[in-house]
Amino acid sequence: MSDSSLTPDIFARLRETAGIALDEQSRFSDLTTLHLGGKPRLTVQCESTAAAVSAVTALDAANIALLIVGGGSNLVVADGQLDLVAVVMAQDALEIDLDTGLVCAGAGVVWDEVVAATVAAGLGGIECLSGIPGSTGATPVQNVGAYGAEISDVLTRVRLLDRSTGAVEWVAASELDLGYRHSNLKFTSRGVVLEVELQLNVDGLSAPLRFGELARGLGASEPSQRWPVADVREQVLKLRRGKGMVVDPADHDTWSAGSFFTNPVVDDALADSVREQVRAIRGESDAERMPRFPAGQGTSKLSAAWLIDRAGFDKGFPNESAPARLSTKHTLALTNRGTAQTADLVDLARTVRDGVREKFGVTLVPEPVWVGVSID
Ligand SMILES: Cc1cc2nc3c(=O)[nH]c(=O)nc-3n(C[C@H](O)[C@H](O)[C@H](O)COP(=O)(O)OP(=O)(O)OC[C@H]3O[C@@H](n4cnc5c(N)ncnc54)[C@H](O)[C@@H]3O)c2cc1C
């Protein structure tokens, strides 16, 4: 437990700050796409950049634990009472320069609104990231990516509140260590992204199509072809909906955190041994089809979804009455069917991770940020 209390002084200071709304009732189950998680000490909604800076610096100065929350689409939060304050980023300024393709968005802008607006304006570069839920400020945190594109392809800089110094400054994308579902902001309390700047292209065409399923769906005939941005967005949304990867409150297959495990990067020797295991269990042709991509320095990237499936976890696992189960559309999404607690989801995650490890010797690593709870 934190030994710092939310004194009346701090409450008063937060309440009196323009652009801040306090809420003592919200639970993380209201704030996350998994609809899971207990109650923070307080929820602080920040409608402006200045409000977010004031809230975070005041809470940090008082040594009160806090969690920055955007759309809650990459969070697994413990049940029960949480000893932290939820600071929700809700600043929604969006500027698009049609001549230069420069885009500046507040951290709280819904990411897909940025994609929709830029695509409508004929700007290219983020159309493959259509339909990813959550806020714009979170996109650099795990370097969001889909269909062969990543935010790092277009991110120029972020306006960052450095929580150790209280300084607010623009930080170049090159200083964020952006990699596969990684940055030096993820799993740390280094800073708060206040604004994001992107450089898009202005010729109305997409980034080169790098994902086979997408290129085939569009009818592209050559590898790395560029395509009208609106068509790419439409096709990406179609593919994502088919996999339950566009949030729909009425569809429990989308009550998830998206892909639950990252695709494992393993030594080539382990990748060879996984292929042998697959050959033994499933036969030659399945082994030959195993997705495996060179990842440099004697390593290969494997597909987490494929391994989960080949380890015997079918879509919908374990059964129709389980409160937490694999999506019926995609083995890589762990879902809440409406009545789950976080503990149910964690049990399922553990079962899947252990099953894949037992079968193939590969330990899958969860992609979301875990708060107050662990898979170990
Ligand atoms: C159906 C579904 C599909 C998904 N598909 C994809 C996909 O295709 N590709 C992909 O990469 N991800 C995907 N995700 C995961 C998720 O949408 C992204 O990681 C997204 O960027 C998270 O944004 P958020 O605002 O919801 O972050 P949150 O879940 O609110 O927060 C995630 C982490 O980021 C931190 N954070 C949030 N905002 C800030 C900020 N402004 N400054 C500093 N730290 C911050 C939080 O403290 C937390 O540690 C999917 C999720 C779902 C539910």
pLDDT in tens, 318-342: 999 999 999 999 999 999 999 999 9
Nearest protein Cα to ligand 1, atom 4 = 258
pLDDT at 4: 66
Calpha distance 85→11 (Å, rounded): 12
Cis amide prior to 40 (ω within 30 degrees): no
Whether the per-residue pLDDT at 3 is higher than 60: the answer is no
Domains with residue ranges and CATH for the chain: 8-89 (3.30.43.10), 94-242 (3.30.465.10), 252-371 (3.90.78.10)
Q: Name the 3-class secondary structure at 159.
A: strand
Ligand 1 centroid, distance to 197 Cα (angstroms):
17
* pLDDT > 90: percent of the chain: 95
| pLDDT of the residue at 142 | 96
pLDDT of amino acid 221: 87
pLDDT of amino acid 283: 93
- Closest Cα partner for 123 from 114, 131, 132? 114
pLDDT of residue 190: 92
Mean pLDDT across the stretch 108-118?
98
Minimal CA–CA distance to 215: which of 231, 204, 193, 194? 231
**Which pLDDT tens digit goes with each residue over 252-297?**
999 999 999 999 999 999 999 999 999 999 999 999 999 999 999 9
Kindly give the distance from the C-alpha atom of residue 245 to the centroid of ligand 1, in angstroms, as a whole number: 13
- Collapse the DSSP code of 19 into the 3-class scheme (helix H, G, I; strand E, B; otherwise coil) and give the result: coil
pLDDT at 1 over 80: no
Ligand 1 pocket (Cβ < 6 Å) reads: 33, 67-75, 89, 107, 132-135, 137-139, 141-142, 144-146, 185, 192-193, 245, 247, 254, 256-258, 369
Q: What is the DSSP letter of 249?
A: T
Mean pLDDT of the chain: 96
| 189 tagged catalytic | no
- Note whether 166 and 26 are within 8 A (CB): no
The mean-pLDDT minimum among 22-31, 38-47, 241-250, 277-286 falls in: 277-286
Spell 324-354 as b/e; 16+ CB within 10 A means b. bbbbbbbbbbbbbbeebbbebbbbbbeebbe
Q: Which SS3 state, helix, strand or coil, does residue 373 take? A: coil
Out of 131-135, 221-225, 276-280, give the one with best mean pLDDT.
131-135
DSSP single-letter state for residue 204: S
d(CA 352, CA 312): 9
Using most ligand atoms within 8 A of CB, pick from 34, 74, 192, 373 the residue to mutate for ligand 1. 74
Residues in Cβ contact with 294 at an 8 Å cutoff, skipping those fewer than 6 apart: 300, 301
Instruction: Give phi and psi for 357, each to the nearest 5.
Output: -65, -45
pLDDT tens string 61-81: 999 999 999 999 999 999 999
Which residues does residue 196 pair with via DSSP β-bridges, in sequence order? 105, 158
User: Whose CA is closest to 195, among 112, 122, 114, 133?
Assistant: 114
Q: What is the DSSP secondary-structure string of 184-239?
A: TTTTS-SEEEEEEEEE-BSSSBPSPP--HHHHHHHT--STT---BHHHHHHHHHHH
| Three-class SS state of 359 | helix
Residue whose CB lies within 8 A of the most ligand 1 atoms, among 29, 44, 56, 73, for a mutation test: 73
